[in-house]
Structure 1
């Protein structure tokens, strides 16, 4: 593999230490190798083997098979001290890649369309560097390579199987390559960074009949349409206007013929919010609104409302540490993008409920190279310069948090 971008990296990587700059070609090679073999949640066997092969090669202690395919590695410094965890998710998406690149996905219908291949490469690069420089920090660094972030969620089962124990983690950090920001920038904030994710499915049971005789029926489509409209009033009229929320009905399936009133209608969608205090708010209002509308029309319903991920809440102290590190690594005019938030969800939230930590966005888009397609797009790709920047930020966070006395 030929890598010819080290010379143009002078601006973006000018504050990245020489040894990590030298590592850049290997970061790119690892990322591209992973990109060619994407795997869905809890099936990341090739990915896990790639990770463990590198860890064995570097003499890094690790455990495998956590939450099916998860890997946890541990690197000890030369003196006792705190335990800092670094988390990297490693699953792909069920998307057919449309990029015409030498490292295009070789697995039909699967693609790393969210940057998790880059997350693994950054974490591996950090582990490699720290394994060669144990004398530069005290305490322990734990690397958590997590399956199934895209669903159904690998963080919680990894926690349940002890990923944060033995040794017990004091704090955790993680990053997400982010094509909503240009390469050479970082988005970070204290408090809510990403939203809670809740899902719902609702079946409306009416009474079908002839399209010309509606009085003999209970029209499930009319009932469903009323529900779709009424659900939007939760945010507009029930939620404190100073708080944020989103209710999206993404699927509405009903009917099979133009002259038949549908017997049933099926609605599905998602709810997003930042405030942990809203944990049961939307669920309750859904039940009340749907029940009331169905009763008024004489219809019945089945509602399956479930919580997927809680909001990502960054700890102030750890966020301040990350921010201070980033200020010394990023020097472009934009630099740090403050108050950066998204209604997207992440199961990093489960780790942050257990220990204080910070999750941040590492800018990865480069429009001049055509590397600015959004996440989950079949032509998603990112500027690989971000890989070296990510390693430098992680390494400096370790050095700062696990400072030698």
Structure 2
């Protein structure tokens, strides 16, 4: 089938999607008001199922928790493509005074997952209304617990076996750092490995005036934090990106008592498997050595979290073609550098070929708050654009030779 024949013309897809804009805004706002954290997406799943029922699209619920997998079958046999959206929100109180502010205290869609679900529901409506023109099958993956690092929700979706027949999978994320409406993608590494480490240094308390009678856990922790950066600056190839960040350093009970314990909590971001494995080993050796030389002890825990998002070459080409087909060449941004942020979409790409792309939502002349900000907000004009693009990506994949 030629996408330029019959209804399936690019300008018509975009037009049809724009006609759905009011509905998409309503969907997004309903999801936004009912924001729920990872593994608690009960109302969110009910809202999704309500609209799938309205669109007459069959689905399976409670997949990998509160996940939903819906299916649109075309009029002819063919390949199977999956489109994915994440469902969960973050634990933070929304600081914007808007009519559809989250009703759940200290829970907010500050990472844009409400818009991702809206993109997918919008694409689902377009695809289902024209399934007689589709060759093959589209699976719509509404995935819970993307923010549940290092576990994530994607592994349980894969364990369900419901994606075993999928030939390719695609997903997206709104991106405030990019100009509004621009779509960015790159082949290979798009986002980083994300690991979580905790180290507890254990010494012995004493009076602050008699440090020789104790073992100072704060000194051990401070030495470690300073020394661990050599794992990047001196042990990692300068051409390879890697980041070590300590987010928490908790120690001590009083100003005049030597701290018996110090807890260090942080993250490691890399792209290569070799760097990831080496830093894990070297960090443990460093912590133990510092503890030993100070006559203390340490407990080292390192959790391998989300793998790097690695986009497959031909899938990237297909996304680029879809962007140009739908919006024109000016809307496509080919980025050179990946982001050090992480995404559990990477788990799908370890099993299924596919690609992940960013949807620009930055508005010129406006204050664009970052993802995970209490003031995060997006211009809702992006909704019909994101839905149309997902639709076109699925069509292009199913109908490519």
TM-score above 0.5, yes or no: yes
The equivalent residue for 1:23 is: 20
Alignment equivalent of 2:398, drawn from 367, 385, 402: 402
Q: Residues of 2 paired with 1:276 and 1:187: CA distance?
A: 25
Partner of 1:182: 179
Contact persistence 1:183–1:364 (CA under 8 A): yes
Task: Report the 3-state secondary structure (helix = DSSP H, G, I; strand = E; otherwise coil) of the residue aligned with 2:262.
Answer: strand
Partner of 1:154: 153
| 1:244, distance to aligned residue in structure 2 (A) | 0.7
Q: Which residue of 2 aligns with 1:52?
A: 49
**Is the CA contact (8 Å cut-off) linking 1:138 and 1:404 kept in structure 2?**
no
SS in 2 for 1:368: coil
The alpha-carbon deviation at position 394 of structure 1 amounts to 1.1
Partner of 2:304: 307
Residue aligned with 2:327, SS: coil
Structure 1 equivalent of residue 219 of structure 2: 222
Say whether 1:171 aligns with 2:163: no
SS of 1:32's equivalent? Answer: helix
Matched, 1:64 2:61: yes
Q: How does 1:4-403 map to 2 (within 5 A)?
A: 17-152=14-149, 153-165=152-164, 168-331=165-328, 335-370=332-367, 372-403=368-399
Q: Rate the CA distance shift 1:330–1:339 in 2: closer, same or farther, 3 A.
A: farther
Contact 1:193 1:311 in 2 (8 A): yes
Give the deviation of 1:280 after TM superposition.
Answer: 1.6
Q: For each residue in 1:81-120, what CA deviation from the matched residue of structure 2 results, as whole angstroms up to 9, or x when unmatched?
A: 1100000001000010011111111111100001000000
SS in 2 for 1:328: helix
Task: Using the TM superposition, give the Cα deviation of residue 137 of structure 1 relative to its aligned residue in structure 2, in angstroms.
Answer: 2.1
Quote how far apart the aligned CAs of 1:156 are: 0.6
Range that drifts further, 134-143 or 226-235:
134-143
Unmatched 5+ stretches in structure 1: 1-12
Whole-angstrom distance in 2 between the partners of 1:65 and 1:367: 41
Paired with 2:276 and 2:77, the residues of 1 have a C-alpha distance of 39
Shift of 1:332: 7.9
Deviations 1:350-377 (A, max 9, x none): 001010000000001224354x111111
Q: Which residue of 2 aligns with 1:9?
A: none
CA offset digits 1:197-229 (Å, max 9, x no partner): 100111101111111111112111111100001
Query: 2:7: which partner in 1?
Result: none
- The separation in 1 between residues aligned to 2:187 and 2:332, in whole angstroms, is 17
Structure 1 residues 14, 400: closer, same or farther in 2, change over 3 A?
closer
| Structure 1 counterpart SS, 2:349 | helix
Q: How many residues align?
A: 390
User: In structure 2, what is the Cα distance between the partners aligned to 1:314 and 1:170?
Assistant: 14
Cα distance in structure 2, aligned partners of 1:265 and 1:171:
46
Deviant stretches of 4+, over 4 Å: 13-16, 331-334
1:317-346 per-position Cα deviation (integer Å, ceiling 9, x unaligned):
101110111123334856414225211111
TM-score (normalised: structure 1): 0.93
Secondary structure of 2:218's partner?
Answer: helix
Determine the C-alpha separation between the residues in 2 that align with 1:279 and 1:175. 25
* 8 Å CA contact 1:96, 1:109 repeated in 2: yes
* SS of aligned partner of 1:64: strand
Task: Give the distance between the partners of 2:257 and 2:30, measured in 1 at CA.
Answer: 53
